[in-house]
Structure 1
Amino acid sequence: MKEIKVTGKQPNSRMCFVCGLENRFGLKSRFYELESGELLAIFRPATEHQGYPGRLHGGLAATILDETIGRAVMISYSDNIWGVTVDFSMRLRKPVPLNEEVRVLARLTKDGKRFFEGSGEILLADGAIAVEGKGRYLKIDINKITDLEMGEDEWLVTPMPDDPETIEL
């Protein structure tokens, strides 16, 4: 394992299933930009996120992995440019336990004018890869996705007391 510096934190929303801080059923994931150019998501799956007993539902594993890869584009572009999934696939290797911190690491692998491709992994506490994924995404301005304003009350960087300055990966 090596220590990697956190260079930024991406915004959370109020009600998004993945990053919404007020969504009582959501994952409440936090997203950190790393000096390696990768994006790291951290979350703790709860009992409500269960598939098989004690295990994260596979569809939710796909959800967090897809979201993290799709957000990786925001490291290079403004937070108004989002990745909209065109194609996504994943491979399950190991079960993801509930009630433990889970990390998702993602990066861009190809960056074109309108589309980008990325890959990522869900990492277990011991560093083992539980799930691998890759996808192709359309770059699109948030104003073309929704007609709602993404104002400060809906989309904000929320400092947390346990936000890391470095991450061991």
Structure 2
Amino acid sequence: MKFTIAGTQNISRDCMVCGVKNPYGLKTRFYETEEKEVIAVFTPQAVHQSYPQVVHGGITAAILDETIGRAIVPHTDAMTFGVTIDLKVNYKKPVPYDVELKAVGRITSYNGRIFEGTGELYLPDGTIAATAEGKYLRRALNKFTSIEFIDEHWFKPKDCPTEITIGGTEKSATED
């Protein structure tokens, strides 16, 4: 599956999922597709394991939750997020660490304040490792965090691929 990328989403310094300075975080990057889906790209490490060589199911749930929750951004703006009301995850395959993984999330229903979405976590060969569906409350970022966080710890990465492929290779270009 190939996706044309329309842009990249903000990340932060300390978040467990996207924080670039969190030593135990996933350091996930989030990209918006032309179809207004969100793709998460990350590489879990041994510190994220449950059973030997397998990522903990809570990490799988966290990445799917964040990806679906961020799927509201292409429909609104970079300062609007989803706060989880309900999340159901179905685990299908063990998830390895030390390999690049991708998750895709999308909105399936948008009712003003409440939205619903679905997502999938893909193994490198394109096999679906887990699926999720969730319900979220749409909230402005400044309603649940400080201005200091927004001004100093919330930023858009400069690099952005032009295309992402799931189950194959991808072409990339730098976006200023």
Counterpart selection for 2:165 from 162, 165, 168:
168
5+ unaligned residues in a row in structure 1: which ranges?
Answer: none
- In 1, Cα distance between equivalents of 2:28 and 2:99: 13
Match of 1:66 in 2: 65
- Please report the TM-score for the alignment, with normalisation by the length of structure 1: 0.94
Match of 1:157 in 2: 156
Match of 1:119 in 2: 118
- In 2, Cα distance between equivalents of 1:7 and 1:110: 21
Aligned residues: 166
Match of 2:23 in 1: 24
- In 1, Cα distance between equivalents of 2:39 and 2:77: 17
Map residues 74-153 of structure 1 onto 2, 5 A cutoff: 74-153=73-152
One-letter identity of the residue aligned with 2:71: A
Where do 4+ consecutive residues of structure 1 move more than 4 Å? none
- In 2, Cα distance between equivalents of 1:151 and 1:80: 9
- In 2, Cα distance between equivalents of 1:4 and 1:104: 12
- In 1, Cα distance between equivalents of 2:89 and 2:39: 17
- Give the superposition deviation at 1:150: 3.4
- In 1, Cα distance between equivalents of 2:55 and 2:154: 26
- In 2, Cα distance between equivalents of 1:150 and 1:79: 14
5+ unaligned residues in a row in structure 2: which ranges?
Answer: 167-176
Match of 1:33 in 2: 32
- Please report the TM-score for the alignment, with normalisation by the length of structure 2: 0.91
- In 1, Cα distance between equivalents of 2:149 and 2:48: 27
- Give the superposition deviation at 1:152: 4.1
- In 1, Cα distance between equivalents of 2:92 and 2:105: 17
1:97-133 Cα distance to aligned partner (Å, 9 max, x none): 0100000000000001110000000001111100000
Q: Kindly, what percent of the aligned residue pairs are identical?
A: 43
- Give the superposition deviation at 1:148: 4.4
- Give the superposition deviation at 1:4: 2.0
1:13-44 Cα distance to aligned partner (Å, 9 max, x none): 00000000000110000000011221000000
